[in-house]
Structure 1
Amino acid sequence: MVRSTYPDVEIQAVSVYDYLFGDLDESRLDATALIDGTSGAETTYRQLIAQIDLFAGALAARGVGVGTRVGVLCPNIPAFATVFHGILRAGATATTVNSLYTADEIANQLTDAEAEWLITVSPLLAGAEAAAAKVGIDADHLIVLDGAEGHPSLRDLLGEGRTAPEVSFDPAEHLAVLPYSSGTTGRPKGVMLTHRNLVANVSQCRSTISLADGDRVLAVLPFFHIYGMTVLLNFALRQRAALVTMPKFDLTEFLRVVAEHRTTWVFIAPPIAVALAKHPLIDQYDLSSITVIFSGAAPLDGALASAVATRLDCTVCQGYGMTETSPVTHAIPAARDDVDRSSVGMLISNTEARLIDPETGADVTVPGDGASEPGELLIRGPQVMKGYLNRPDATAEMLDADGWLHTGDVATVTHDGIFRIVDRLKELIKYKGYQVAPAVLEAVLLEHPSIADAAVIGAQDEDGQEVPKAFVVRQADADLDADAVMAHVAAHVAPHEKVRQVEFIDAIPKSASGKILRKDLRAR
Structure 2
Amino acid sequence: MEVSIESGFCSSTGLYCSKWGSPLLPQTPHLSLPSFLLSQISSKALDKPAFIDSKSCKSITYGELRSLTSSLAHVFHSLGIKKGDIVLVVVPNSLYYPLLVLGVMSLGAIFSTANPLHTRPELQSQIQDTNPNLIITTPEQRSKLDDRQSTRSIILVDDLMDTLLQYPRHHKTLGTEINQDDIAALMYSSGTTGKSKSVVCLHRNFIAMSCFLRHVWESEDGAFDDIYLCVLPLFHMFGLSMFVCGTLAVQSTTVVLNKYSLEDMLVSVEKYKVTRLPVVPPMVVQLVRLQDGVKGYDLGSVKEVICSGAPLGKVHMEKFSKCYPQMRLSQCYGLTETCGPITLCNGFSGMVHESIGGYFGDPNATSLAINKEGWLHTGDLCFIDKLGLVYIVDRIKELIKYKAYQVAPAELEEILLIHPDINEVAVIPYPDEAAGEIPMACVVKRGMSEVEEEDIISFVATKVAPYKKIRKVVFVDSIPRSASGKILRRHLRAKALTTQQPLQISSKL
TM-score using structure 2 length: 0.75
Q: Supply the AA of the counterpart residue of 2:49.
A: T
What corresponds to 2:174 in structure 1?
165
What corresponds to 1:291 in structure 2?
303
What corresponds to 2:379 in structure 1?
408
What corresponds to 2:209 in structure 1?
201
What corresponds to 1:309 in structure 2?
321
Q: Give 1:146's match in structure 2, choosing from 124, 137, 158.
A: 158
- Find the residue that maps to 1:119 and give its secondary structure: strand
1:427 CA drift (Å) = 4.0
Does 1:99 pair with 2:107? no
1:311 CA drift (Å) = 2.2
1:301 CA drift (Å) = 1.8
Q: Give 2:248's match in structure 1, choosing from 223, 237, 241.
A: 237
- The answer (yes or no) to whether the contact 1:107–1:135 under 8 Å persists in 2 is no
Q: Would the alpha carbon gap of residues 98 and 197 (structure 1) be closer, same or farther in structure 2, given more than 3 Å must change?
A: same
Q: Would the alpha carbon gap of residues 259 and 90 (structure 1) be closer, same or farther in structure 2, given more than 3 Å must change?
A: same
1:208 CA drift (Å) = 2.6
TM-score using structure 1 length: 0.73
What corresponds to 2:184 in structure 1?
176
Q: Would the alpha carbon gap of residues 257 and 47 (structure 1) be closer, same or farther in structure 2, given more than 3 Å must change?
A: same
Q: Would the alpha carbon gap of residues 62 and 6 (structure 1) be closer, same or farther in structure 2, given more than 3 Å must change?
A: same
Distance in 2 between residues matched to 1:135 and 1:472, nearest whole Å:
43
Distance in 2 between residues matched to 1:339 and 1:15, nearest whole Å:
40
What corresponds to 2:82 in structure 1?
65
What corresponds to 2:464 in structure 1?
none
Distance in 2 between residues matched to 1:397 and 1:468, nearest whole Å:
26
- The answer (yes or no) to whether the contact 2:211–2:249 under 8 Å persists in 1 is no
- The answer (yes or no) to whether the contact 1:471–1:508 under 8 Å persists in 2 is no
Alignment of 1:248-287 (within 5 A): 248-279=259-290, 280-287=292-299
| 1:157-185 residue CA offsets vs partner (Å, 9 max, x unmatched) | 342326441211221x2111101115674
How many residues of Structure 1 are paired with residues of Structure 2 in the alignment?
419
What corresponds to 2:435 in structure 1?
none
Distance in 2 between residues matched to 1:182 and 1:508, nearest whole Å:
31
Alignment of 1:124-523 (within 5 A): 124-127=141-144, 131-133=145-147, 136-138=150-152, 141-147=153-159, 153-161=160-168, 163=170, 164-171=173-180, 173-181=181-189, 185-209=193-217, 210=220, 212-279=223-290, 280-312=292-324, 313-333=326-346, 336-337=348-349, 340-344=352-356, 385=357, 387-427=358-398, 460=413, 462=417, 467=426, 503=496, 505-506=500-501
| 1:95-134 residue CA offsets vs partner (Å, 9 max, x unmatched) | 111121112211211221121101112333332xxx2416
Q: Supply the AA of the counterpart residue of 1:124.
A: Q
Unaligned ranges ≥5, structure 2: 1-14, 401-408, 433-442, 445-474
Distance in 2 between residues matched to 1:41 and 1:468, nearest whole Å:
44
- Find the residue that maps to 1:206 and give its secondary structure: helix
Distance in 1 between residues matched to 2:24 and 2:149, nearest whole Å:
41
- The answer (yes or no) to whether the contact 2:136–2:155 under 8 Å persists in 1 is yes
Unaligned ranges ≥5, structure 1: 148-152, 345-384, 430-456, 474-481, 510-519
1:396 CA drift (Å) = 0.8
What corresponds to 1:361 in structure 2?
none
- The answer (yes or no) to whether the contact 1:472–1:505 under 8 Å persists in 2 is no
- The answer (yes or no) to whether the contact 2:317–2:352 under 8 Å persists in 1 is no
Q: Would the alpha carbon gap of residues 49 and 466 (structure 1) be closer, same or farther in structure 2, given more than 3 Å must change?
A: farther
CA RMSD of aligned residues (A): 3.4
1:412 CA drift (Å) = 1.3
What corresponds to 1:364 in structure 2?
none
Compare CA radii of gyration and give the structure with the larger one.
2
- Find the residue that maps to 2:377 and give its secondary structure: strand
Distance in 2 between residues matched to 1:96 and 1:30, nearest whole Å:
30
Q: Would the alpha carbon gap of residues 338 and 253 (structure 1) be closer, same or farther in structure 2, given more than 3 Å must change?
A: closer
1:7 CA drift (Å) = 2.2
- Find the residue that maps to 1:94 and give its secondary structure: strand
Shifted more, 82-91 versus 99-108: the winner is: 99-108
Distance in 2 between residues matched to 1:224 and 1:135, nearest whole Å:
27
Does 1:86 pair with 2:86? no
What corresponds to 2:57 in structure 1?
40
- The answer (yes or no) to whether the contact 1:184–1:428 under 8 Å persists in 2 is no
Distance in 2 between residues matched to 1:9 and 1:43, nearest whole Å:
28
What corresponds to 2:137 in structure 1?
120
Q: Supply the AA of the counterpart residue of 2:90.
A: L
| 1:258-290 residue CA offsets vs partner (Å, 9 max, x unmatched) | 111111100000100011112032111111110
1:307 CA drift (Å) = 2.5
- Find the residue that maps to 2:378 and give its secondary structure: strand
- The answer (yes or no) to whether the contact 1:58–1:158 under 8 Å persists in 2 is no
| 1:10-49 residue CA offsets vs partner (Å, 9 max, x unmatched) | 2114210122111211221001111101212222111122
Distance in 2 between residues matched to 1:390 and 1:158, nearest whole Å:
36
- The answer (yes or no) to whether the contact 2:81–2:133 under 8 Å persists in 1 is no
| 1:480-516 residue CA offsets vs partner (Å, 9 max, x unmatched) | xx99x989x99xx9x996957965545599xxxxxxx
| 1:313-369 residue CA offsets vs partner (Å, 9 max, x unmatched) | 2111101011011121110135x337642111xxxxxxxxxxxxxxxxxxxxxxxxx
Distance in 1 between residues matched to 2:188 and 2:148, nearest whole Å:
19
What corresponds to 1:20 in structure 2?
37
Q: Would the alpha carbon gap of residues 23 and 37 (structure 1) be closer, same or farther in structure 2, given more than 3 Å must change?
A: same
- The answer (yes or no) to whether the contact 1:76–1:248 under 8 Å persists in 2 is yes
- The answer (yes or no) to whether the contact 1:301–1:342 under 8 Å persists in 2 is yes
Q: Supply the AA of the counterpart residue of 2:42.
A: D
Distance in 1 between residues matched to 2:365 and 2:158, nearest whole Å:
38
What corresponds to 1:110 in structure 2?
127
Distance in 2 between residues matched to 1:409 and 1:464, nearest whole Å:
26
- Find the residue that maps to 1:300 and give its secondary structure: coil
1:135 CA drift (Å) = 7.0
Q: Would the alpha carbon gap of residues 281 and 270 (structure 1) be closer, same or farther in structure 2, given more than 3 Å must change?
A: same
Distance in 1 between residues matched to 2:186 and 2:125, nearest whole Å:
13
Distance in 1 between residues matched to 2:95 and 2:503, nearest whole Å:
47
Q: Would the alpha carbon gap of residues 411 and 472 (structure 1) be closer, same or farther in structure 2, given more than 3 Å must change?
A: closer
Q: Would the alpha carbon gap of residues 428 and 267 (structure 1) be closer, same or farther in structure 2, given more than 3 Å must change?
A: farther
